Chains A and B, each alone.
Chain A
């Protein structure tokens, strides 16, 4: 039996809350609803609330394409799953209903210390230009962070690879946050409210740690103790 979908009009278009259950059962239900009411949905901008369901970029891409056939633009995915958020971001989908403007972004970040900085997400691939990771806890990347990619973390950021994109640690104001990388040459580096840019290209790379010391953002080489 089909569970009816909750459809709501929001400022940016329509919001559908997908009910609990197996994605393979929920998906046809969703598509059926959309096709039945094709006139209502045609030309709509659609956001999907999928709770903590884990979907791959390929699954989301297919959904977007199928909806596009019905002339529906899938533009946002609301989810609490970090994997799904990453996949949606890769496809250029929004992750929240109204995008906070850039100037107030830092104040609005829901990165309160509710996690006490104890939780971390592991990103096991290279972050390429356009990729974007936002996480309230720590972020660990096993791979490179290329120019044009961005990491915003409530806690520490650790990159086992080359860090050349933009990185913000302690984004909710935690000045004890650090950024560590095997090659620390970010486009821009922020910790809490402090901003720094990398000095020019160096010939020799070495692991470095950036932190705030006596109110100054400093980067120092890692030394085995």
Chain B
């Protein structure tokens, strides 16, 4: 595949399909030539669009560092590094959220936004991050967002990913947590022909905590494949994950949740839940938890439910005079609201406005 219009012109060979990508063979659908999409201008603090990165302003306490890339042979890890790159350091807790916008404003299948964002958070500092990733009717967005949390650092991160009907999307979110660092990530995902989310959190320091929640709302023939990996590399680390999918039309959601607990990582608590609400007969959900536990003193739970709106809940609303259509709408809204309600206070407004 030939890439043009990006910082580094390159020719890359899309990888053959592997087991991990069997539901979402995005590499197999890429065009022979991919051009940088025309950059979108917005007033967000950081804008990544087409092949460009623009820093408009930054809240006090955050500074720009020289972008660097670690060389990798992985196709999907390399692709974002060819586009706009921003490396930030949070040296003091900013008083307001950092707003990052990744945009692709194109209608053509051979146009793309490639972007890489790296944020390092200094010890004991707190960052609230609002990240909006928007696409349009067609094209590709491939991004990588990396967060490195030092000891006692705290990040509240909200991601709203809104894609167009024919768009392809691969978004990586990788976090590394030192001792007692705390990460909360809430995802709202809407639409897209095929979206692959690769979410990983490595809890490398004792006492680190990661909390991940996502709500995906799909209709038509949209498909979202959430592939997550939570690695407990140290003792006393805790993680909580809630992955919800609301599926209408002929849409499809895949959730693969890997939980890895290293041999020495005792007293780990890991909780994982996957819930799917099917609004139509042709909607489809696949859930596959993967637990790799090598320590013996751990608390680990996981579960998956798939169903339609419960008859008892529906009847409860009917029995109070609420008509069937409205009862269904309320229960659907409630399914989404659980994720929003559980998000940190400061991010609820941002997330609620984007579902």
Q: A and B, one complex? A: no
